[in-house]
Chain A
Amino acid sequence: MKKYLILLVCLLIMIPAFVTANGAQEEKEDGKPVVGLIMKSLANEFFMAMEEGAKAYAEEDGTFELMTMGMNSETDFDSQVNAVDSLITQGVDLIVLAPADSAGMVAPVKRAIDAGVTVINFDVTLDKEALKAAGLPEEFLFVGPDNTDGAEMVGNYLGETLGSGGKVFIIEGNPGADNAKQRKNGFMKAVENHNLELLASNTAHWETEEANTLMTNLLTKHPDVQGVMCANDSMALGVVRALEAAGRSDVQVVGFDNIPAVKDLIMNDKMLATVHMDGAEMAILAFNAGFEILDGKRENLGWVQSPLILADKDFFK
């Protein structure tokens, strides 16, 4: 009696699994391709806006089914692996992935490809060495911005404003993150282009409060600073606040991402400019590259660049 009861409970637990598996199957029978969009942290406004934009696009377009998945945090790499595996099980046609870990996500990508799913890598590049080791091409298609270019663009804008010899800080992102390294390299190019004097370059791990503390302390050390390049806007918010507290309205600040909070700062001359990156547009480029591959019109190789726009006062007018 007890055994049957346990069996019954097991079956009951499994019902939802059958139902979801069937659901995915039915969608396929419609003839519409199923796309799984796997993002990083939805706690990040950038991905939140991306999700909204991607959903709106899917609804308007109507030629494909979209499933979106976000993680708990930027570094939640385990649940990203699980997300890829469950999308493979559900038999989606296309996985569009923003890797939380450039090297670590290669293995699940390989599993998906072996299972016949097309994978598009966007936002952050997969690691070339890891791709090679997994037997995938090093030039695996990437849809995303050129962070180095974007940082150089906004850095040059700061350089033009300050003129040759201007004294600057760089506030870096997480030392381990590829986009942090690329943005720093871009800033360094701008420093060279305009003969700027780099007084300090330190990390504030993408965080507002840490950037505020860092900026306050750097101001003590180098009161003669004239400009600050921040690897993201969250840190720029902390830097601007530090300058306010110190009563320094003469220091120019540039950022990266264009989060909603910086618009007012730029309009009120508290910040010089940022780099506008449209997450939804990037996801849509990735979808379309994926459909071209599914139709056999494109190889899964190369780089589709998503645009970065300099956002200064004129941009918001």
Chain B
Amino acid sequence: MSEKSRLRSVVNIFLKEVGIGVVLLVLVVAFSLGAPRFFSIINVANIFTQISINTVIAVGMTFVILLGGIDLSVGSVLALCSIIAGKILVNPELSFGMAIVLSVLVSVVSGMLIGLINGFISETWKIHSFIVTLGMLNIARGLALQISQSRTIFNFPKAFNDFGTTTYFGVLPAIFLIALILVILGSIILRNTVFGRMIFAIGNNEESVRLSGHNVKFYKILAYTICGGTVGIATIMYMLRMSIASPILGVGFELNAIAAVVIGGTSMSGGKGSLVGTFLGASIMGVLNNGLLLIGMGDFARQIVTGVIIILAVILDTYRTRFSAMLND
């Protein structure tokens, strides 16, 4: 390998994986200069906590968007899973350990089941997932309200609540560790397994994958099921963090998750993207929300600036893609 091509591949990798990280770095430096308490251990830990739930939902969403699909039902499914898991958690007939194991299990399985239904309907009748999951958004919210009779569930076991506010070494919140593990696990699946490579292949050219004899339907339904499963995990994280379960929580979560995925450089038409990018995207949103408040910006201005930066980050990303394509020519 010549000196030049080695340099080229280093630049390439840098652009591909860390491109959006530059935006994050700029924001962090700017806020550190502008707000004295921004770059403190406690604030960093707070930001970690605040991005955890969105990160986990966005991990599942990345799988679906990589296929060129979308899942709009995640926020409502979160509410539904929280009601089911919450009812189990406060059930006095179950022992503490049993209640926790069951509620986690049931939450994840319920999420996966709904994801499976989303994927199955979308694939069997060839209906775009936008419509199927929009329907599911209403079904899950309605079910959550029906089952709970629109009542908030509270009084979780103390040990459960305590774990929700645990922070290791002063800077690593327990729920952030869960998010981190899922990002790493998801990355390994996407990069190193047949299933993961299939996701990219289907996102790029579904027809050719089908013609080469692969079961496209199976892989696609599996992706939706994984997305539902991550929502089930995010549900438990929400309950840990807020110590309540409610049928009205999670409104608009789908938009935050989609924003994190897209800021992270995943293409809405599928086939291109990474979970590291998604994690950076979620981090940018969390840092913005935290930093803008700490420098003392008002509510309305904060909303405007957040919108502008989301668009700028994605514009920047198109240049990065073009530049990296130019290098490869």
Q: How far is the CA of A260 from the CA of B150 in the complex (A)?
A: 12
Chain A CB within 8 A of B73 CB: no
**What's the nearest-Cβ distance from chain B to residue A100, in Å?**
15
Chain B CB within 8 A of A58 CB: no
Within 8 Å by CB of B249, from A209, A217, A259, lies A209
Q: How far is the CA of A42 from the CA of B145 in the complex (A)?
A: 9
**What's the nearest-Cβ distance from chain A to residue B61, in Å?**
18
Q: Which residues of A contact B243 (CB under 8 A)?
A: 241
Q: Is A221 a contact partner of B293 (Cβ separation < 8 A)?
A: yes
Query: Chain B residue with minimal CB distance to A264?
Result: B155
Chain B CB within 8 A of A162 CB: no
Q: Is B165 a contact partner of A245 (Cβ separation < 8 A)?
A: yes
Q: Fill in one digit per residue for A38-76: 1 if any B CB lies within 8 Å of its CB, else 0.
A: 000011110010000000000000000000000000000
Q: Is B152 a contact partner of A45 (Cβ separation < 8 A)?
A: yes
**What's the nearest-Cβ distance from chain B to residue A234, in Å?**
8
Chain B CB within 8 A of A238 CB: yes
**What's the nearest-Cβ distance from chain A to residue B37, in Å?**
5
**What's the nearest-Cβ distance from chain B to residue A164, in Å?**
25
Q: Is B37 a contact partner of A221 (Cβ separation < 8 A)?
A: yes
Given A45-B150, A213-B50; A237-B299 close (CB under 8 Å): no
Within 8 Å by CB of B152, from A202, A207, A241, A259, lies A259
**What's the nearest-Cβ distance from chain B to residue A62, in Å?**
26
Q: Fill in one digit per residue for A197-233: 1 if any B CB lies within 8 Å of its CB, else 0.
A: 0000011000111001110111011000000000000
Within 8 Å by CB of B247, from A43, A214, A234, lies A43
Chain A CB within 8 A of B190 CB: no
Chain A CB within 8 A of B244 CB: yes
**What's the nearest-Cβ distance from chain B to residue A173, in Å?**
12
Q: How far is the CA of A7 from the CA of B63 in the complex (A)?
A: 50
Give the secondary structure class of A's interface: helix
Q: Fill in one digit per residue for A276-311: 1 if any B CB lies within 8 Å of its CB, else 0.
A: 000000000000000000000000000000000000
Q: Is A216 a contact partner of B145 (Cβ separation < 8 A)?
A: no
Q: How far is the CA of A212 from the CA of B294 in the complex (A)?
A: 15
Q: How far is the CA of A213 from the CA of B302 in the complex (A)?
A: 14
Within 8 Å by CB of A241, from B50, B149, B242, lies B242
Q: Is B299 a contact partner of A203 (Cβ separation < 8 A)?
A: yes
Q: Which residues of B contact A45 (CB under 8 A)?
A: 150-152
Q: Which residues of B contact A192 (CB under 8 A)?
A: none
**What's the nearest-Cβ distance from chain A to residue B22, in Å?**
24
Chain B CB within 8 A of A261 CB: yes
Q: Fill in one digit per residue for B143-170: 1 if any A CB lies within 8 Å of its CB, else 0.
A: 0010001111011000001001100000
Q: Which residues of B contact A213 (CB under 8 A)?
A: 50, 289
Chain B CB within 8 A of A139 CB: no
Q: Is A43 a contact partner of B293 (Cβ separation < 8 A)?
A: no
Chain A CB within 8 A of B248 CB: yes
Q: How far is the CA of A259 from the CA of B150 in the complex (A)?
A: 12
Which of B39-47, B210-218, B257-265 makes up part of the contact surface? Answer: B39-47
Q: Is A217 a contact partner of B242 (Cβ separation < 8 A)?
A: no
Query: Chain A residue with minimal CB distance to B253?
Result: A209
Within 8 Å by CB of B242, from A43, A202, A238, lies A238
Q: Is A175 a contact partner of B299 (Cβ separation < 8 A)?
A: yes
Complex interface residues of chain B between 10 and 55 (CB less than 8 A to chain A): 35, 37-38, 40, 42-43, 46, 49-50, 53
**What's the nearest-Cβ distance from chain A to residue B42, in Å?**
7
Chain A CB within 8 A of B176 CB: no
Q: Which residues of B contact A208 (CB under 8 A)?
A: 242, 244, 246, 249
Chain A CB within 8 A of B220 CB: no
Chain A CB within 8 A of B290 CB: yes
Q: Which residues of B contact A209 (CB under 8 A)?
A: 53, 238, 241-242, 249
Chain B CB within 8 A of A244 CB: yes
**What's the nearest-Cβ distance from chain A to residue B193, in Å?**
33
Q: Is B145 a contact partner of A217 (Cβ separation < 8 A)?
A: no
Q: Which residues of B contact A175 (CB under 8 A)?
A: 299-300
Complex interface residues of chain A between 233 and 270 (CB less than 8 A to chain B): 234, 237-238, 241, 244-245, 259-261, 264
**What's the nearest-Cβ distance from chain B to residue A228, in Å?**
15
Query: Chain A residue with minimal CB distance to B300?
Result: A175
Query: Chain A residue with minimal CB distance to B36?
Result: A221
Q: Is B46 a contact partner of A217 (Cβ separation < 8 A)?
A: yes
Q: Is B165 a contact partner of A244 (Cβ separation < 8 A)?
A: yes
Query: Chain B residue with minimal CB distance to A51?
Result: B150
Q: Is B155 a contact partner of A260 (Cβ separation < 8 A)?
A: no
Q: Is B165 a contact partner of A220 (Cβ separation < 8 A)?
A: no
Given A43-B248, A221-B293; A260-B152 close (CB under 8 Å): yes
Within 8 Å by CB of A43, from B38, B150, B300, lies B150
Q: Is B293 a contact partner of A202 (Cβ separation < 8 A)?
A: yes
Q: Is A237 a contact partner of B242 (Cβ separation < 8 A)?
A: yes
Within 8 Å by CB of B46, from A203, A216, A260, A264, lies A216
Q: Which residues of A contact B42 (CB under 8 A)?
A: 220
Further contacts, 11 of them, CB under 8 A, given A44-B150, A202-B293? A44-B248, A175-B300, A208-B242, A220-B38, A220-B40, A220-B42, A220-B43, A220-B290, A220-B294, A221-B37, A241-B241
Residues of B whose CB lies within 8 Å of any CB of A are: 35, 37-38, 40, 42-43, 46, 49-50, 53, 145, 149-152, 154-155, 161, 164-165, 238, 241-244, 246-249, 251, 289-290, 293-294, 296, 299-300
Would you list the 9 A-B pairs with minimal beta carbon distance, nearest first? A245-B165, A261-B154, A48-B150, A217-B293, A220-B43, A216-B46, A43-B248, A203-B299, A220-B37
Query: What are 7 A-to-B residue pairs whose CB atoms are below 8 Å?
Result: A48-B149, A48-B150, A241-B243, A245-B164, A245-B165, A264-B154, A264-B155
Residues of A whose CB lies within 8 Å of any CB of B are: 42-45, 48, 175, 202-203, 207-209, 212-214, 216-218, 220-221, 234, 237-238, 241, 244-245, 259-261, 264
